[in-house]
Structure 1
Amino acid sequence: MADKTIATMIQRRVKESPSDAAIRHKVGSDWKDIAWSDFAKRMENIASGLLTAIDIPDRAAVSILGNTTANWIACDFAALSVGLRTVPVYASLLPEEVGYLHTDTEAVIAICEDKAQLEKVREMRGGFNFFDKDYSADDVKVQHIVVMDPTGIDPADDWESLADLEARGAEKLAETEADRKRRFDQPERDDVATYTYTSGTTGPPKGVIQTHGNMLAMLESALATGIFQSSNVSAGGFFLFLPLAHSFGRLIELAGPFFGSPIVISSVPTLGEDLGATRPGFLPAAPRVYEKMMSKIEAKVAGAPPIRQKLFHWAINTGKETIPYRQKGKPIPGGLGFRLKIADKLVLSKLRAALGFDRAEVLLSGSAPLSVPVHEFFLAMNLNLLEAYGLTETCPGLTANLPDNFRLGTVGMAFPNVEIKIADDGEILAKGPNITSGYLNRPDATAEAFDDEGWFHTGDLGSKDEDGFVKITGRKKELMKTSGGKYIAPAKLEGRLKLMPMIQEAVAIADTYNYATALIALDPEELDEWAKQNGAEADPNSEAVRAAVQAHVDEVNSTLASYETVKYFRIIPMLTVDSGLMTASLKVKRGPVVERYKHLVDEMYKNS
Structure 2
Amino acid sequence: MSFISVLDAFQKWEKETPNQPFLHQNIHGRKITLSFQEAGDQIRRMATALQDMGMEKGSHIAILSKNCSHWIMADLAILMAGCISIPIYPTTDKATIQLILEHSGSKAIFVGKLDDYASQKEGIQGIPKIGVEMHGVNEDYGWDNLVEKSSPIQDVHKPAKEDLMTILYTSGTTGNPKGVMHSYGSVEFAVAEFEHHFTLPRHPRFFAFLSLAHIAERAAYEFIGVYLGGSIAFPESLESFPANLAEAKPHMFFAVPRIFQKFQESILKKMPQSRLDLLLKIPIINNVIKKKITSALGFQEAVSVISGAAPISPDLQEWFKKLGIDVNQGYGMSEDICVSHMNFPGMNRIGTVGQKYDHIKTKLSPEGEVCLLSDCLTLGYYNDEEKTKELFDDEGYLRTGDLGEYDHDGYLSIVGRVKDQFKTDKGKYISPNHLELPLSDNANIEQVCVVGTGIPQPIALIVPSEVGKDLSQDALRTSIQESLKSLNGTLPNYEKVAKAIVMKEDWTIDNGLLTPTLKLKRNHLEKIHSPYYSDWFDKSETVIFE
Distance 1:24 1:587, change over 3 A: same
Residue in structure 1 matching 2:217, options 225, 240, 249: 249
CA distance in 1, matches of 2:32, 2:87: 25
How many residues align? The count is 537
Q: Which residue number corresponds to residue 8 of structure 1?
A: 8
Question: What is the identity, as a one-letter code, of the residue corresponding to 1:438?
Answer: G
Pairwise CA distance, 1:86: 0.6
1:407 to 322, 341, 349: 349
What is the CA–CA distance in structure 1 between the aligned matches of 2:84 and 2:419, rounded to whole Å? Answer: 32
Please tell me whether Structure 1 or Structure 2 has the larger radius of gyration of its CA atoms. 1
Q: Is the 8 A contact 1:393 1:436 kept in 2?
A: yes
CA distance in 2: counterparts of 1:193 and 1:151, whole angstroms: 27
Q: Which position in structure 2 is the counterpart of 1:48?
A: 48
Counterpart residue number, 2:248: 278
**Cα gap change, 1:22 to 1:431, in 2 (>3 Å):** same
Give the 5 Å matches for 1:168-207: 168-170=149-151, 173=152, 177=153, 181=155, 184-185=157-158, 187-207=159-179
Amino acid at match of 1:24: H
Instruction: For 1:237-386, list aligned pairs within 5 A.
Output: 237-251=205-219, 252-266=221-235, 268-302=238-272, 309-312=277-280, 314=281, 342=284, 345-386=287-328
Could you say which residue in structure 2 is the equivalent of 1:161? 142
Question: Aligned in 2, Cα 1:146/1:480: closer, same or farther, shift over 3 Å?
Answer: same
Q: 1:482 aligns with which of 424, 432, 446?
A: 424
Residue 546 (1) aligns with residue 477 (2): yes
How far did 1:264 drift?
A: 1.8
Secondary structure, aligned partner of 2:199: coil
Q: Deviations over 1:92-140 (max 9, x none)?
A: 11111001111111000111126877546652355xxxxxxxxxxxxxx
Q: Is the 8 A contact 1:502 1:527 kept in 2?
A: yes
Question: Structure 1: 5+ residue runs without aligned partners?
Answer: 127-141, 316-338, 537-541
Match for 1:515 among 438, 449, 457? 457
Contact 1:228 1:259 in 2 (8 A): no
AA aligned to 1:420 is T
Query: Alpha-carbon deviation of 1:426?
Result: 0.6
Q: Secondary structure at the match of 1:504?
A: strand
Per-residue deviation, 1:521 = 1.9
Deviation at 1:553, TM superposition (A): 2.8
Distance 1:309 1:56 in 2: 60
The residue type paired with residue 555 of structure 1 is S
The structure 1 residue matched to 2:518, chosen from 586, 589, 598, is 586
* C-alpha distance after superposition, 1:314-341 (max 9, x if no partner): 26xxxxxxxxxxxxxxxxxxxxxxx6xx
The match for 1:335 is none
Structure 2 contact 66–114 (Cα < 8 Å) conserved:
no
1:247 CA drift (Å):
0.8
1:216 corresponds to: 188
How big is each residue's C-alpha offset from its partner over 1:353-389, in whole Å with a ceiling of 9 and x where there is no partner?
A: 2222111111011011122222122223333321110
Equivalent pair of 1:570/1:600 in contact (CA under 8 Å):
no
Whether contact under 8 Å (1:361, 1:383) holds in the other structure is: no
Shift of 1:460: 0.3
Distance 1:75 1:446, change over 3 A: same
Separation in structure 2 between the aligned mates of residue 151 and residue 374 of structure 1, nearest angstrom: 36
Partner of 1:83, secondary structure, is coil
Query: In the aligned structure 1, how far is the partner of 2:100 from the partner of 2:435?
Result: 34
Instruction: Tell me which amino acid in the other structure corresponds to 2:420.
Output: E
Question: Do the aligned partners of 2:19 and 2:35 also contact (CA within 8 Å) in 1?
Answer: yes
Inter-partner Cα distance in structure 2 for 1:82 and 1:262: 23
Map 1:445-594; keep pairs closer than 5 Å.
445-523=387-465, 525-528=466-469, 530-531=470-471, 536=472, 542-572=473-503, 573-594=505-526
Structure 1 residue 105 corresponds to structure 2 residue 46 = no
Letter of the aligned partner of 2:397 in structure 1?
W
1:56-101 deviation digits (Å, cap 9, x = unpaired): 1211011000100001111111111121111111111111100111
Counterpart of 2:543 in structure 1 is: none
Aligned to 2:200: 229
Deviations 1:187-233 (A, max 9, x none): 211111111111234422110001111111111100011x23236xx
CA offsets, 1:133-192, max 9 Å, x none? xxxxxxxxx531111137767x7xx7221111211224xx4xxx4xx51x612x211111
Aligned positions of 1:56-205 closer than 5 A: 56-113=55-112, 119=118, 122-125=121-124, 142-149=126-133, 159-170=140-151, 173=152, 177=153, 181=155, 184-185=157-158, 187-205=159-177
Q: 1-side partners of 2:273 and 2:538: how far apart?
A: 43
Q: Any idea what SS the aligned residue of 1:429 has? A: strand
Shift of 1:299: 4.1
Counterpart-to-counterpart distance in 2, 1:593 and 1:104: 27
In 2, Cα distance between equivalents of 1:559 and 1:503: 20
Aligned residue for 2:157, secondary structure, equals helix
Looking at structure 2, the residues matched to 26 and 201 of structure 1 have their Cα atoms a distance apart, in angstroms, of: 32
Contact 1:22 1:36 in 2 (8 A): yes
SS in 2 for 1:221: helix
State how far apart, in whole Å, the 1-side matches of 2:46 and 2:162 are. 25
Letter paired with 1:212 = Y
1:384-424 alpha-carbon deviations (Å, 9 max, x no partner): 32111000101122011122222111111111211111111
8 Å CA contact retained: 1:400, 1:415: yes
Equivalent residues of 2:415, 2:433 under 8 A apart: yes
In structure 2, the CA distance between the partners of 1:370 and 1:165, relative to structure 1 (3 Å rule), is same
Distance in 2 of aligned mates of 1:167 and 1:213: 33
Seen in structure 2, the aligned counterparts of structure 1 residues 453 and 586 have a Cα distance that, compared at 3 Å, is: same
Q: 1:152 to 1:364 in 2, by over 3 A?
A: closer
User: Residues 168, 96 of structure 1: CA spacing in aligned structure 2 closer, same or farther, 3 A cutoff?
Assistant: same
TM-score normalised by the chain length of structure 1: 0.83
Q: Deviations over 1:220-278 (max 9, x none)?
A: 100011x23236xx45x112111011111111221111122211212544332222222
CA separation in 2, counterparts of 1:5 and 1:303?
48
The one-letter code of the counterpart of 1:99 is: Q
Asked if the contact 1:98–1:121 (Cα under 8 Å) also holds between the matched residues in 2, the reply is yes
AA of the residue aligned to 1:75: A
Q: In structure 1, how many angstroms separate the alpha carbons of the residues matched to 2:326 and 2:229?
A: 21
Mapped contact 1:363–1:386 kept (Cα < 8 A): yes
1:556-584: CA deviations, max 9, x gaps? 33343332221112222101111122222
Structure 2: segments with no counterpart, 5+ residues: 541-546
1:184 alignment partner, SS class = coil
Residue identity opposite 1:244 in structure 2? L
Give the corresponding residue for 2:544. Answer: none
Does the aligned pair in 2 maintain the 1:198–1:207 contact within 8 Å? yes
Distance in 2, matches of 1:115 and 1:28, equals: 15
* Superposition deviation, residue 512 in structure 1: 4.0
